Amino acid sequence: MVLPLVLSLLALAAVASPLLDKYLGRTTGWVLAATFLGLGGWVFYEAPPHLRDGGVIEYSQPWMPAIGVNFHLRLDGTGLLFTALVLGVGALIMAYSARYFSHGRHAGFYALMSIFAAAMFGLVVADDVVLLFVFWEFTTIASFFLIGRSGLHANKPAMRTLILTAGGGLALLSAVVTMIVYTGTSQLSVILAHPVWQENGTFATAVGVLIIIAAFTKSAQFPFHYWLPDAMAAATPVSAYLHAAAMVKAGIYLLMRFSPVLSDNTVWHVTLISVGLLTAIMGALFALQRHDLKELLAYSTVSQLGFLVAVIGIGTPAALAAAGIHTLAHALFKATLFMLVGVIDREVGSRDIRKLTGLRRVMPLTAALTALSALSMAGVPPLLGFISKENMFGAFLEAPGPDFVGPLVGTFAVIGAILTFAYSFRIVYGAFSGPTEQVKLREPSLIFLLPAAVSSLAGLVLGFYAGWLDPLIERVVLDTQGLVGTFYLTLWHGVNAAFIMSMITISVGIVLFLLRNTIDRLLDRRLFPITGVEVFERIYDGTIAFGARVGDLTRSNSPTRHLAAPFILLALLALGVFISSPVVPPFPEPVTQPIDWLLLLLVSAGVIGIVIARSRLAALALLGVVGFVVALLFFVLGAPDVGLTQLLVEVLTVVVAVLILRRLPRVFHTVSKSRTALTAGIAVIAGTSAALATYTLTGRREISQAGEYFLQEAEEETGGTNVVNTILVDFRALDTLGELTVLGVAGLVIISVLDSSGLLRGDRDPRATELKDAPIGSAVGNTILARTVGRWLAPVLIILSLYLLIRGHDLPGGGFISALVGGAGFALAYLSAPSAARAPIRLPYVGLIASGIGIATLVGVLGFADGSFLRPLHYNIPLPGDAYYHFTTALIFDIGVYLAVVGVILAALNRLGVEETPAAYTPDAPDGAPPDRDPPVSNEPEHEAMTGGRR
């Protein structure tokens, strides 16, 4: 149970972060650091007994059993290595954040960082490819918000990062679907053991390419490398955690996880080795061009990730061992360097190495820690980076292929390592050597430097005692290659090829450092005619422009142009079906009653009236009549739930439409006869096509198998006798939750659009009807009847809605219908108000929408107690005597539906019904003009957001 508990506690940390931040402020970082450290220690305490002799820690819970997807977690040696990065480095970054940020509230940062940590931990322990994909996307979303919260300057980098990494997510999704189709399972460990990888080379290559694309976008490999330096707009703790130690390692993890089945694939080898080394050298050259320390570190990260990708592509046990050790070494020295750059930035106010000189005299401890980590990155003994670099050199010499491939790959690796040495020394020399100009600077507090000191010294200690890592690295090789081997990590393996390559690297690197001025002049130019960001922007702008051109075909303020295209398409589809002469079942025995023809006649008359009406209000009234007749038809046909829903929707639609009509001209504008003929022709053809399709297809079919199942099994499976409601909240609750979310978003869109438009400020169409001088303009006199009726009818409707809500599982009713009844009650109360100032329903409708969706989602989570998401739980509550009340969590789900729908209705009523006057300017009334009958309404979105719409 350790895995689900750790995942749950990380999620709980994200939820608790705002509350902790409220009382602790930035010190919340220490609490989260202790949490991460404790959870990491727990995992490392539980893991060794299970992982010894090839074992694993597993946990499985049904998630979507109908399609064979389970919440399956599995921890092996590879997962344990990456868990150390997620929780160990994460703890250091959280502690660092507690002093990096100023005093104040940082709840959003801590919550998002905790969400990312939970998602990253879930990713490395997921043993279901669907679950792995979900966590993969969570890391993408968390990264987007963490970058974007840094300010307006970070908006574009955040969006570019999101689009690119989400595109890689689509490649991963394609791989997931392909693997499930070919292997018949979604369990990752079973997929990796399936013989299809050896039997079907096309499948293996296709999946391998998709995995490579996903990994390259996440781990910033060419040509997707540009997003990582672009993401440096984020705060330094975000860069240190996501973009150096954790998120960018997600792609590395993915490549290592699939290495067992793809290490013999030629496309896999060639792509990873060539692109990895290209990225390593290119990133190092870009790093040498940079003067901003944070940007320099970003390109150095791109370069180091290139080394990791290339060594994974080698595919030998030694190569995977080198990848494992360098993954750890890179996380330690790169997280340290990012933290120390943040320290320098906070203390000095600059990251430009041209302005940072002589800091070693005023910040000696910072200088020592920076030098220690930079030397590890350069591969200088006795640091862990030296050991990992030597192991990679040895692996590169074993590259698969002809005899010349190994030396060739090794040569390019040495070139990349030499450039790495050069930019590593550039960091130390640029910031800490030379004359001291800021003599008044002082070393920051030791507690601020403590996290960086821990990770920096860890690289030194593990350099001397690298043998401590032998069991972990051996297990990584077993997981990624399926081979049991013995590895001895040590500083000295004697004079061998790897040692000679290291000495060449250090020697030539020193020469490049001594020639730094010449190198700077040579690199003081664009290496390529166009940057990755510029390529992205051109593609993005071109895509948007193309979409705009396509949209121009129907883009218009006229609904006619919008509707013409789908109606014409419908007619063409009907024509195609007619030409194909489909075989249709015989028409069933007629069951038409005389009342059906009468109702059809009324509907037809209403539609004709709408078409010829000149008045908007008359057309709306006739439209309401048509809706009421259709509702009556549903009742006659024996569908009370559908009929009641139709009736209530018509009532509320008419109310909202009337509020909109107040701002429109009284009559429709005049159109030409040719346009009328064209639109009439399209309408007749589309209507005829729809009628024929219904008569030919829908009207002739028997009840479906699904319908038969619901009718026969609903009561036994759900305990409810209202089949319609059981379908909505039991059998297809996930569909309902999705529709509820869409409805909630629509409500929020109503609020946002009306807040940003002129509708709420009285920007009425000048041709709109003014009634203030007419008898109907007497608001008080003309609402006496409505107020009298509304005083007792509105509460009755609301109480009735609660009754329909409770009984919905067995009788006509349910969350949606009851919400419509309740909404009708609120609409009546709104319309019967004596003045605009007293009309708004003072309920937090934004809160209602959010709580409704939240409650429905929470019910879904509770379903895991019985096996799957949204599975209803049933309880019999004893009553006096032998009676009992059958309670189901589907009722709570319906309550969520009720709250969300009522919230949307209130949003529409309150936002459309009241005209606001901007608070910043109130024009003086002309002489003799009567004062405003209603006081102006505040137009403060922030206030309304906090009060849920209360004014």
The DSSP-derived string for 673-731 is HHHHHHHHHHHHHHHHHHHHHHHHTGGG----HHHHHHHHHHHHHHS-S-HHHHIIIII
Task: Give the helix ranges, DSSP H, for 580-672.
Answer: 594-612, 616-636, 640-661
- Integer CA distances (angstroms), 402 to 275, 397, 483, in order: 19, 12, 24
**Residue 872 pLDDT > 60:** yes
Q: What is the pLDDT of residue 507?
A: 93
In 3D space, the residue among 272, 250, 248 whose CA is nearest the CA of residue 133 turns out to be: 250
- Integer CA distances (angstroms), 836 to 488, 780, 832, 839, 932, in order: 81, 11, 10, 5, 11
Give the highest mean pLDDT range of 738-742, 866-870, 942-946: 738-742
Which has the minimum average pLDDT: 125-129, 233-237, 839-843?
839-843
Quick one: pLDDT band at residue 616, thresholds 50, 70, 90? Answer: confident
HSE of 763, CA atoms in CB hemisphere, 13 A: 9
Sequential DSSP letters for 735-803: HHHHHHHHHHHHHHHHHHHHHHSSGGGT---TTBPP-TTSGGG-HHHHTHHHHHHHHHHHHHHHHHHHH
* Dist. CA 862–CA 896, nearest whole Å: 14
Which has the minimum average pLDDT: 195-199, 791-795, 805-809, 833-837?
833-837
Task: Break the chain down into helix, strand, coil percent, rounded to 5.
Answer: 75, 5, 25
Q: What is the pLDDT of residue 617?
A: 86
**Residue 914 pLDDT > 80:** no
- Is the separation of the CB atoms in 39 and 11 below 8 Å? no
In 3D space, the residue among 424, 395, 412 whose CA is nearest the CA of residue 277 turns out to be: 412
* Host H or E run for residue 886: strand 884-888
Q: What is the pLDDT of residue 105?
A: 83
Quick one: pLDDT band at residue 756, thresholds 50, 70, 90? Answer: low
**Residue 365 pLDDT > 60:** yes
| 792-811 core/surface letters (b: 16 or more CB in 10 A; e: else) | ebbeebbebbeebbebbbeb
Which has the minimum average pLDDT: 277-291, 384-398, 837-851, 906-920?
906-920
By residue range, what is the domain housing residue 375? 263-534
Give the highest mean pLDDT range of 10-19, 44-53, 425-434: 10-19
State how many domains the chain has.
Answer: 2
709 vs 421, higher pLDDT: 421
Look at residue 950 and tell me if it is in a domain: yes
537 vs 703, higher pLDDT: 537
Look at residue 274 and tell me if it is in a domain: yes
Quick one: pLDDT band at residue 758, thresholds 50, 70, 90? Answer: low
pLDDT in tens, 272-308: 999 999 999 999 999 999 888 999 999 999 999 999 9
Quick one: pLDDT band at residue 942, thresholds 50, 70, 90? Answer: very low
In 3D space, the residue among 458, 452, 459, 455 whose CA is nearest the CA of residue 96 turns out to be: 452
Place of tokens 């919905």: 808
Q: What is the pLDDT of residue 825?
A: 87
* Host H or E run for residue 878: strand 874-878
- Integer CA distances (angstroms), 36 to 13, 73, 315, 757, in order: 9, 19, 33, 46
pLDDT in tens, 468-523: 998 889 888 888 876 666 777 888 878 899 999 999 999 999 999 888 888 888 88
Q: What is the pLDDT of residue 643?
A: 85
- Is the separation of the CB atoms in 431 and 353 below 8 Å? yes
Look at residue 207 and tell me if it is in a domain: no
918 vs 831, higher pLDDT: 831
Put residue 757 in one of left, alpha, beta given phi > 0 → left and psi -120 to 50 → alpha: beta
54 vs 377, higher pLDDT: 377
Look at residue 841 and tell me if it is in a domain: yes
20: three-class secondary structure by DSSP:
helix
Q: How many CB atoms lie within 10 A of CB 492?
A: 10
* Dist. CA 466–CA 322, nearest whole Å: 13
Which has the minimum average pLDDT: 220-229, 454-463, 546-555?
546-555
Q: What is the pLDDT of residue 950?
A: 34
Could you check whether the bond before residue 382 is cis, i.e. omega within 30 degrees of 0? yes
Q: What is the mean pLDDT of residues 121-128?
A: 95
* Dist. CA 77–CA 759, nearest whole Å: 61
Which has the minimum average pLDDT: 110-124, 584-598, 661-675?
584-598
- Is the separation of the CB atoms in 450 and 95 below 8 Å? yes
Give the highest mean pLDDT range of 91-95, 531-535, 808-812: 91-95
* Host H or E run for residue 60: strand 57-64
Residue 405 burial by Cβ neighbours in a 10 Å radius (0-12, 13-18, 19+): middle
Q: Cα angle vertex 325, ends 322, 326, to 5°?
A: 80
Residue 589 DSSP symbol = P
The residue out of 487, 515, 534 marking a domain boundary is 534
Which has the minimum average pLDDT: 233-237, 403-407, 524-528?
524-528
pLDDT in tens, 644-701: 888 888 888 887 887 778 778 888 888 888 888 888 888 888 888 888 777 777 666 6
Look at residue 176 and tell me if it is in a domain: no
841 vs 821, higher pLDDT: 821
- Is the separation of the CB atoms in 785 and 695 below 8 Å? no
Q: What is the mean pLDDT of residues 770-777?
A: 44
Q: What is the pLDDT of residue 214?
A: 95
pLDDT in tens, 515-570: 888 888 888 888 888 888 889 999 999 999 998 888 777 777 677 777 777 888 88
What percent of the chain is modeled with pLDDT above 70? 89
Quick one: pLDDT band at residue 948, thresholds 50, 70, 90? Answer: very low
* Dist. CA 298–CA 296, nearest whole Å: 5
Look at residue 131 and tell me if it is in a domain: no
The residue out of 534, 551, 584 marking a domain boundary is 534
Look at residue 559 and tell me if it is in a domain: no
The residue out of 482, 504, 534 marking a domain boundary is 534
Look at residue 7 and tell me if it is in a domain: no
- Is the separation of the CB atoms in 431 and 359 below 8 Å? yes
- C-beta contacts of 161-164 below 8 A and 24+ residues apart: 161/227, 161/230, 161/231, 163/536, 163/540, 164/217, 164/224, 164/227, 164/536
Based on its alpha-carbon atoms, the radius of gyration of the chain, rounded to whole angstroms, reads: 34
| 621-654 core/surface letters (b: 16 or more CB in 10 A; e: else) | bbbbbbbbbbbbbbeeeebbbbbbbbbbbbbbeb
**Bridge partners, 878 (sequence order):** 884
* Dist. CA 161–CA 220, nearest whole Å: 10
Quick one: pLDDT band at residue 935, thresholds 50, 70, 90? Answer: very low
Q: Cα angle vertex 303, ends 86, 167, to 5°?
A: 65
- Integer CA distances (angstroms), 835 to 325, 786, 831, 839, in order: 73, 13, 9, 6
